[in-house]
Amino acid sequence: MKWSVRLLMVTAAVRRSAAASEQELLEFKQDFLEFDLNKDNQIDAQEVRAQFKGNLDAKELHQFFIDVDKDLSGTISLQEYVDYAASLNSGGESTSNPYRAPE
Ligand SMILES: [Ca+2]
């Protein structure tokens, strides 16, 4: 029975090396929902600040939005957040992403 466990672990490792797995996407989505306090499906600067409870200075907050808010809307959509989280997970190897929906 040990073998099947080992095989599962190897399979998981292979999946992890690719793009974000379905499991990771679910986790990212969960993170996003925690940020989105007023449930409008957008994270704004106020919500990010609330989440970090003052441990984020204005410069870091600004940089966060530069990194994540790719369409410069001033708010972060789930799509943008998932793209950002996936790029962190994969070591930021690529700026293109297969998850981006056309706006
Ligand atoms: Ca929101």
CA of 101 to the centre of ligand 1 (A): 19
CA of 14 to the centre of ligand 1 (A): 35
Fold designation for 2-89: Recoverin; domain 1 (1.10.238)
CA of 56 to the centre of ligand 1 (A): 18
The per-residue pLDDT for 89 is 76
SS3 for the chain is: CHHHHHHHHHHHHHHHHCCCCHHHHHHHHHHHHHHCCCCCCEECHHHHHHHHCCCCCHHHHHHHHHHHCCCCCCCEEHHHHHHHHHHHHCCCCCCCCCCCCCC
Look at 101 and 37; give whichever has higher pLDDT: 37
Look at 1 and 51; give whichever has higher pLDDT: 51
CA of 34 to the centre of ligand 1 (A): 10
Q: Report whether pLDDT(37) > 60.
A: yes
User: Residue 39: pLDDT band by 50, 70, 90 thresholds?
Assistant: very high
Percentage of the residues of the chain whose pLDDT score is greater than 90: 53
Percentage of the residues of the chain whose pLDDT score is greater than 70: 68
The domain segmentation of the chain, as residue ranges, is 2-89
CA of 32 to the centre of ligand 1 (A): 9
